[in-house]
Structure 1
Amino acid sequence: MTSDTLLDLGVLTGQLMRAIQDELFQRLAEGGHPDVRPRHGTVLAHLHAGGLRATELAERSGQHKQIVGTIVDELVKLGYVSRQPDPADRRAKLIVPTDHGRDEIETARAILAGIERRHREALGADGYTDFKRTLQRITDRQRGWRDDDGGE
């Protein structure tokens, strides 16, 4: 494929994300987590065993707190997380993974590590590291588009 025929950045990154999600969620379903959907990653991808407040999850995921709250409600019903008092502030709640939630998080991380390992082997360690560094730089620059000269 020549540079003239390369898809635009939005299409490429969208296709990459969907392809990764397709594999991840199929394998999660096969591994005992058939109810988890891509939107649940807004919470589960950022959660750790000690839990986080919904506001922290919103900041880390880039989603509104109301969206995070809705997803947490779903995950509570599915048995992946619980709301517990924050020992640092009893008025606040922590979103904490249950045993089932911790298993999903560990399984998802292992699947994603395998996907990365497969691409690293295909591109070579240096090529894959260069790809990720470049993608991270583009992502960081895009996040700051309002600060750029017109975003161009």
Structure 2
Amino acid sequence: MTEPEPLSDDLVLLFAALADHTRAEITAAVAEVGYGDLRPSDGYLVQHLLGGAVSVGELAGRMGITAQGVSKVVIEMERKGYVRRSVDPEDQRTRMVSLTERGWGSVHATREVRAEANRRMRAMLGAGATAFLDQVRQLAESTGALGALTERRLRP
């Protein structure tokens, strides 16, 4: 039996730890600017509303969960003021979900906080930042992770 590699050499665990640390840091910074009731998992719904109103059924399909599951998240986010539900003018049975002004504010705040985190990490990497990013991007592309990200297929 071979010895396991040290934790500090395990790419999978290092990426997981970095993602967890960064997620917590960004969540805290977003809370500081007025969105403390947002959870990281709320972003999985929000990403599908950036292009405009979407039906609950379509959200369920995109998110890979049941319409009942989406409805539960939507009700909670509506209660917090991030989304609104409305009747589809073309089909009175269909409920559409869209971002509110507060929802858009949280999107912009999260983007700003994430951009600052990116700047800070690139500064830590120094001159090697571009090469490192290229390598990580290559890993993400070859594993399919980049496609999942760009096509908004990430799931909680």
Short-chain TM bin:
0.7 to 0.9
Q: How far apart are residue 48 of structure 1 and its match? A: 1.4
Pair 20,46 (structure 1): closer, same or farther in 2 beyond 3 Å: farther
Task: Look up the match of 2:10.
Answer: 7
Query: 1:94 is matched with which residue: 90, 96, 115?
Result: 96
Where in structure 2 are the equivalents of 1:3-152 lying within 5 Å?
Answer: 4-5=5-6, 6-7=9-10, 9=12, 11-48=13-50, 50-121=52-123, 122=125, 123-140=128-145
Gaps spanning 5+ residues in structure 1: where?
A: 144-152
Structure 1 contact 33–104 (Cα < 8 Å) conserved: yes
SS in structure 2 of the partner of residue 32 of structure 1 = helix
Give the distance between the partners of 2:112 and 2:50, measured in 1 at CA.
15
CA distance in 2, matches of 1:140, 1:47: 21
How far apart in 2 are the matches of 1:66 and 1:17? 29
TM-score by length of 1: 0.74
C-alpha deviation, 1:100, in angstroms: 0.6
**Shift of the alpha carbon at 1:18?**
1.7
Residue 68 and residue 20 in structure 1: after superposition, are their counterparts in 2 closer, same or farther (change >3 A)? farther
Give how far 1:140 is off.
Answer: 4.2
Instruction: Report the number of matched residues.
Output: 139
4+ residue runs of structure 1 moved beyond 6 angstroms?
Answer: none
Could you tell me which amino acid in structure 1 is paired with residue 136 of structure 2?
A: F
| Alpha carbons of structure 1 residues 14 and 124: separation in structure 2 relative to 1, 3 Å | closer
Supply the AA of the counterpart residue of 1:103. G
Give me the CA root mean square deviation: 2.7
Distance in 2 between the 1:69 and 1:113 partners?
Answer: 31
Deviations 1:18-56 (A, max 9, x none): 212201110111011111112212212332162222333
Q: Following the alignment from structure 1 to structure 2, what is the Cα–Cα distance between the partners of residues 112 and 47?
A: 19
Q: Which moved more, 1:23-32 or 1:37-46?
A: 37-46
Deviates more, 1:27-36 or 1:83-92: 83-92
> In the alignment, residue 10 of structure 2 is paired with which amino acid?
L
Q: CA deviation at 1:4?
A: 2.8
Is contact 1:119–1:128 with CA below 8 Å preserved after alignment?
no
The CA deviation string for residues 52-101 of structure 1, in whole angstroms up to 9 with x for no partner, is 22333334444443332211111011011001123454432221111111
